[in-house]
Each structure stands twice: as structure tokens, then as C-alpha cells.
Amino acid sequence: MELQFLGTGAGMPSKERNTSSLALKLYEERGTLWLFDCGEATQHQILHTTIKPRKIEKLFITHLHGDHIFGLPGLLSSRSFLGGEEPAPLTLYGPKGLMKWIQFTLELTKTHLNYPIHFVEIEEGVIFEDEHFIVTAKELEHVIPCFGFRIEQKPLPGELYIDKALELGIPKGPLLGKLKSGEDVELEDGTIVRSKDVTGPPKKGFVVAILGDTIYCKQSVELSRDADIVVHEATFDHATAKLAKDYGHSTNVDAAKVAKEANAKYLILNHISSRFLPRDLENLLKEAKKVFPHVFVAKDFSSYQWKNGQLIDLSAKNL
């Protein structure tokens, strides 16, 4: 799993940061990616990455403020005109009103899509579940309805003890794969080899909390409980805490408090106000680390890989 930030600014674009959008790359897990929010010029940001819009399987919108949705009509339209294979169906999750806005925009502009969109106007609770993932939404505390999401990967198959399987007569090939995936298999002589006898215990999947705009609230903590990664807005800093509260936003210290109370492993600060210049980022980081030690400040195009229980900053690795 990999997170790539396409826009990390707040309110409006700046020279340093575009408006909100985040890609959750699940290429190894399901061969697709999920997009969270789609601020103005998100498709332009995508042009500077290896992301293929036709691979976007699901798109989650936290709330209907323009810096989180104004890039959506353009991206949906362009997805129809890309070369190569026909775009797959797209599921669009968001607050009530999103479907009406998109359908009206497409109709008014006579925009035809060559793929279907399935709209899910979300309420609190589980909004998606299959055999591999479960996504839960909770309403946060902002100036308009705004949601946060908890993405949980279900337990993965345990390690396959190949030597033990071979000793029991399992030939090399597809039967080994079935055992690893949890299936029992039957040999030609009728012997049943049980998966649990040749595999280790299931491995814990990852948990990511991606939160929309909000003041500090208990819902953020609940979504982030024991999460591996929390992506939390930090529009303001400790010195501008009053402004944060007045405008329904959080500070870097608020975000750190959420991560600490939730017993999360890592925190990524996002949605940074343009009032903070590159030289200010070190102070944003230091303030947050006084409360919670494992913190990153996202920048546009930053990439973070989750591997073997560790969060790796790929951007720093490439410097």
C-alpha cells in the first residue's frame, strides 16, 4: 500500500500546494487505487505522477467545499478520453448533494461518460465491505457536513510452511496457493491436507484513517483508534488556534492529540494553510512532535509506503 498526496493545501491553491486530493494506491492488494477528495486541478497534478485515472476504482469525497470537489467534473470527463482500455466503472462516495451536483454539471455541459458511475451518498457507519477491505465513515465537526474515513484491510493469510506442505505430498503448483489462501486441498489418493496445518496464523492488515476538515473531536479519535496511519488536517498552528476554532479547522497540535489519544502509529499532517511557507514547516513538525513523536508533514507529490509494519517516506528516500 502506498499513499501519494496530490494536493496538500487549504482553501485555495498556492505556488507550493494545490487543493486537496490524496491517492491510496492498492496496486498489490487489488490492482486499483482509491482517491480521496478532488480539489481543483487534481487531474493536472496526476499528470506529474504515474497514476492512471482509469485505474481509479473508488473516489471518496469528505465534504462539498470547493477546495475538495472543484476538480471532480474535469477528472470524470477526462477519464472517458484516455487511450488504452476502457475505463472501469467508478463508485463515488460523498455527502448528500454530491450526486445532484455531478449529474447536473454533466447534463448542463453535455458531457458524456463512457463508463458508469455508482453514487453512494454516505451516512455514518460501514459504507463499503468486501472480502479484503472495510471502510467506515463518521461525521466530523466542520462548518458543513464533513466525513472522515477508516480503511481497514482484513487479516491476510499466514505464512505457508512450504517444506511441511511438501512433506505431506503437496506438489509444487496451484495447490500450494490454495493452502496459503486458506483452502483445504485433496490429493489424488484422497488425502485431505488442511490449510491450518501448513500455515501460520493470519497477519494483521493495515488500518488508515483519512480525515476531512474538522476541529478536534471524539469522532476523529474513534476513526483513528489503533490505526497504522492517520492523515489529519493541520490548517493552523498552535499560535493561530483561535482562527482554527473559528473556521472549523484543526491545528498541528490538535492533530497530534488525536493520534496520541487514538494510540496510532504514524501521523501525516495535511491541508496546510498557505500562510505557512516552506521555512515554517520545521516548526509545525516540532510542535506536533512534542505531543506525538511519529509525525510527517505532507507536501504535494509526497509518497509514503506501508511495508512490514513501517511507514517509509519515499520522497525523502529519493532526495
Grid coordinates representing 91 are 463508485
Confirm whether residue 63 is marked as ligand binding. yes
Phi, psi (rounded to 5 degrees) for 170: -75, 120
Contact 137, 124 (CB under 8 A): yes
The DSSP symbol for 53 reads G
CA distance 13 to 136: 29
For residue 254, indicate whether it is catalytic. Answer: no
Grid coordinates representing 81 are 478520453
Contact 7, 300 (CB under 8 A): yes
Confirm whether residue 142 is marked as ligand binding. yes
Catalytic-labelled residue, pool 67, 228, 237, 254: 67
User: Comparing C-alpha atoms, which of 269, 204, 201 is closest to residue 235?
Assistant: 269
CA distance 234 to 213: 9
Phi, psi (rounded to 5 degrees) for 60: -110, 125
- Measured between alpha carbons, how far is residue 70 from residues 18, 38, 67, 93 in Å? 12, 7, 6, 15
CA distance 150 to 189: 47
Quickly count: other Cβ atoms within 10 Å of residue 119's Cβ. Answer: 14
* H/E run at residue 278: none
- Measured between alpha carbons, how far is residue 232 from residues 83, 90, 116, 130, 161 in Å? 35, 26, 31, 26, 40
Confirm whether residue 213 is marked as ligand binding. yes
CA distance 285 to 272: 12
Q: Whose grid coordinates read 467534473?
A: 73
Determine the residue type at 253: V
Confirm whether residue 68 is marked as ligand binding. yes
Confirm whether residue 118 is marked as ligand binding. no
Relative to beta strand 207-211, strand 147-153 is antiparallel
The binding site comprises 63, 65, 67-68, 142, 213, 271
Residues with a catalytic annotation lie at 67
The binding site for Zn(2+) comprises 63, 65, 67-68, 142, 213, 271
